[in-house]
Amino acid sequence: MQATLYIVATPIGNLADISERAIEILKQVDLIAAEDTRHSKTLLERFTIKTKISAYHEHNEEKVTSQLIQQLLDGQSIALISDAGTPLINDPGYKLVVAAHDNNIQVVPIPGPSAIITALSACGLPISKFIYEGYLPAKSEARKTRLRELKNESRTLVFYEAPHRIVESIKIMQEIFGAERRVTVARELTKKFEQIIRDNLSVINEKIESGEIKVKGEFVVVVEGTKETSITDQEALRINHILSEKLSPKDAAGLAAKITGRKKNEIYQLALKKDL
């Protein structure tokens, strides 16, 4: 086997979802670098994979990257796995893949499950264009700010969410995106208690409150993009800018709001931002 870094996707809940190719590679490589060696033992034992395993996680990423690169340069092959799904998707591995490219080491992906694509495939919302947002910020105010920035996005939005934050996040989404915006909550994908429920935000909130959607396990939240306006922030800002050449800031913002269907205050906020 040529010195290669394999990025191997593993199941997100159902061990039977691993691919034949993933098993083969995990058996053949010289070393498996795993986010959590204890966690991955269940998977490796199930498929009688006896390859040497070492830890590669966010706390030792810097140090271990250079060790792994040295091993690769010495001709060894290494497979990177994370606790679940595709490495690097909200999981460690970015620094290692960058360093491998920098050192002309071949990087080979072994595709397989990822919660994003699994949720999208079954969400029942438009998915020809989508944005992956990962986790929203932990603090409420920062979460609101990010959601406000996404309010006028027309592409479908995909979020990862933790069970202790899902209640608040769905409430804030209703407050910012409106009660009618459609959303799919995908919980415990591929596992015994899998739930995939699509409805508008107010009904989803009720279903969480009534306990029909349990606040337990792992979540992907898919939110439909806005249908209200196809005008982007940049276009709204440009309209406001052109109007400001002839009108007072107040009148320009008022007219820009009418033209774009935005709130006057939103136009002010956009005008204050310099990085659009």
Q: Which residues are at the interface with ligand SAM (CB under 6 A)?
A: 12-13, 82, 84-86, 89-91, 114-116, 160-162, 186, 188-191, 218-220
Q: Which is nearer to ligand SAM, 91 or 153 (CB)?
A: 91
Q: Which is nearer to ligand SAM, 118 or 240 (CB)?
A: 118
User: Whole-number minimum distance, CB 219 to ligand SAM, in Å?
Assistant: 5
Question: In degrees, to the nearest 5, what angle opens at C-alpha 273 toward C-alphas 271 and 275?
Answer: 125
User: Whole-number minimum distance, CB 268 to ligand SAM, in Å?
Assistant: 35
CA pair distance 90, 160, nearest whole angstrom: 9
Question: In degrees, to the nearest 5, what angle opens at C-alpha 138 toward C-alphas 192 and 140?
Answer: 115
Q: Which is nearer to ligand SAM, 71 or 118 (CB)?
A: 118
User: Whole-number minimum distance, CB 226 to ligand SAM, in Å?
Assistant: 23
User: Whole-number minimum distance, CB 104 to ligand SAM, in Å?
Assistant: 26
Q: Which is nearer to ligand SAM, 57 or 238 (CB)?
A: 57
Q: Which is nearer to ligand SAM, 158 or 255 (CB)?
A: 158
CA pair distance 184, 173, nearest whole angstrom: 12
Q: Please give the distance of CA 246 from its chain centroid, rounded to a whole number.
A: 43
User: Whole-number minimum distance, CB 202 to ligand SAM, in Å?
Assistant: 23
Tokens of 108: 């080979």
User: Whole-number minimum distance, CB 89 to ligand SAM, in Å?
Assistant: 4
**Residue pair 131/147 in contact by the 8 Å Cβ criterion:** no
Furthest CA-CA distance within the chain: 74
Helices (H) and strands (E) in the chain, counts: 11, 10
- Partnered with residue 131 across adjacent β-strands are 157
Q: Which is nearer to ligand SAM, 85 or 225 (CB)?
A: 85
- Partnered with residue 196 across adjacent β-strands are 186
CA pair distance 95, 61, nearest whole angstrom: 7
